[in-house]
Amino acid sequence: MKTILVLGAGTGGIVTARELSKHSGNEDDINLVNILVFEKEERSVFAPSLPWLMVGQRKPEQIYESYKKLDASGLEVISGEIENVDPENISVTVKGKVYKGDYMVVSLGVEQKNDFNLDKFGYNFFTLDGATRFNKELDILVVGKIAILVSSLPFKSPAAPYEAAMLIEDYVRKAEISSKVEVALYSPEGGPMEFAGPEASKELKILLENKGIKYYPNHQVTNVTADTLEFSNGKSYKYNLLAYTPKHEAPAVIRSSSLAGESGWIEANRQTLETKFPNVYAIGDITDIKLDTGVSFPKIGIFAREQAEIVAHNIGRKIGNNLPDHTFKGEGQYYIEYGKGLASTTDVNFYEDPKEPHVKMKTPEVLGHWHKWWAEKYWFFKNF
């Protein structure tokens, strides 16, 4: 029986494991493959719902589930931190025990770092705890300045800070305190979602401006105190409430392994997601896939999911002695919440035209919001 090691039970890992179970003939009483999923946390947070949590549209317990509830035939979750990854031998070490496999899929996401003592002064809304505590502070704020800060590049879900700012503006307006509360967004990017090309970036900027959100691109933070952000261009901003994105790195266990490329992230084939090691794949946020423009492929969950399905399908083919026949096409659709119960549906295709990414943002509409609502419900229904 073949064994597949799935590293990480986040978005990519869960979908890989579920699809592997489905594609490889596993049924309740017959297991043709052994799927070992390695995860250090106890619960799985549905990150796209964190901006809703920030503004009180979700309670924390509504957006996570225990990994113990992950259920698919042939699947076993091994709890604990992966201490070593050995791609040459297709093995990992957890709590001193070595697990060997025939195939390996690495979906370990990003490691979040606390730079500039940000955790002392603000709320990391890329975590369940940070988004929850931000919401408690927002609830009692009646006057002052709210700063949303992108602290460094690259960061996953490049639309999330903009979405958070728009939902916060919506909250402030509904609470009838908009005349006394300012919402400002600072980022080192030259424009919102620059990777998406000038058209989509401009459209998102217009949405921010229409809402009266103060937007400051080209601002790299260099120092943070209890009430002030200082930037490399000499500017500063006095704030009362701060939400930030942390610095992102590839997890240490990967940086110290032979899988790490020059950037520390894993370089994978942009179509098959196979790494330089045969039968070892990398998907999702941990990959560094360079587009022809030199820009790195963005770290967004829809791609982790799509890549997971492709890799699981192809491993299933290989196990059945067939040639892999699915490839990643660099396309997908995601939703950016605008407030007022509306969201913008965004269609992306990064591979079609190598010179210019195809990213189309629709005007925010009710349907987009319901798509996002449904994506959340479906995630929990299908996986737990």
260: contact with ligand FAD by CB under 6 A? no
334: contact with ligand FAD by CB under 6 A? yes
- Give residues 213-252 in contact with ligand FAD (rule: CB under 6 A): 251
156: contact with ligand FAD by CB under 6 A? yes
Q: How many angstroms separate the most distant Cα atoms in the chain?
A: 66
Residue 151 in 3-state DSSP?
Answer: coil
Cβ atoms of 16 and 308 within 8 Å: the answer is yes
User: Would you say 158 or 197 has its CB closer to ligand FAD?
Assistant: 158
- Give residues 110-129 in contact with ligand FAD (rule: CB under 6 A): 126
Determine the straight-line distance between the first and last CA of the chain, rounded to whole angstroms: 26
47: contact with ligand FAD by CB under 6 A? yes
User: Would you say 124 or 314 has its CB closer to ligand FAD?
Assistant: 124
CA distance 23 to 179: 56
- Identify the sign of the CA torsion 358, 362, 364, 367: negative
Number of residues forming the site for ligand FAD (CB under 6 A): 34
41: contact with ligand FAD by CB under 6 A? yes
From the number of C-beta atoms within 10 Å of its C-beta (0-12, 13-18, 19+), residue 279 rates as middle
Q: Which of 157, 187, 257, 314 binds ligand FAD (CB under 6 A)?
A: 157
User: Would you say 286 or 315 has its CB closer to ligand FAD?
Assistant: 286
Q: How far is the CB of 323 from ligand FAD (least distance, A)?
A: 26
Sole window of 36-44, 187-195, 230-238, 311-319 interacting with ligand FAD (rule: CB under 6 A) = 36-44
Residue 187 in 3-state DSSP?
Answer: coil
Cβ atoms of 217 and 187 within 8 Å: the answer is yes
81: contact with ligand FAD by CB under 6 A? yes
Cβ atoms of 64 and 128 within 8 Å: the answer is yes
Q: Which of 4, 5, 6, 9 binds ligand FAD (CB under 6 A)?
A: 9
Cβ atoms of 21 and 95 within 8 Å: the answer is no
6: contact with ligand FAD by CB under 6 A? no
CA distance 189 to 241: 22
Sole window of 155-163, 193-201, 211-219, 343-351 interacting with ligand FAD (rule: CB under 6 A) = 155-163
Structure tokens of 93?
């070490």
Structure tokens of 147?
């700063």
Q: Which residue is nearest to ligand FAD (CB)?
A: 10
Task: Note the Cα 179 to chain centre separation in Å.
Answer: 34
40: contact with ligand FAD by CB under 6 A? yes
181: contact with ligand FAD by CB under 6 A? no
Q: Which of 5, 34, 48, 171 binds ligand FAD (CB under 6 A)?
A: 48
**Buried b / exposed e across 226-237, counting CB within 10 Å, b at 16+?**
eeebbbeeeeeb
Which amino acid is residue 127, in one-letter code? T
Cβ atoms of 15 and 22 within 8 Å: the answer is no
User: Would you say 156 or 247 has its CB closer to ligand FAD?
Assistant: 156
User: Would you say 81 or 274 has its CB closer to ligand FAD?
Assistant: 81
108: contact with ligand FAD by CB under 6 A? yes
38: contact with ligand FAD by CB under 6 A? yes
Cβ atoms of 168 and 54 within 8 Å: the answer is yes
Can you give the binding site for ligand FAD, defined by CB under 6 A? 8-13, 38-41, 47-48, 50-51, 81-82, 107-109, 126, 156-157, 160, 251, 253, 284-286, 299-302, 304, 334
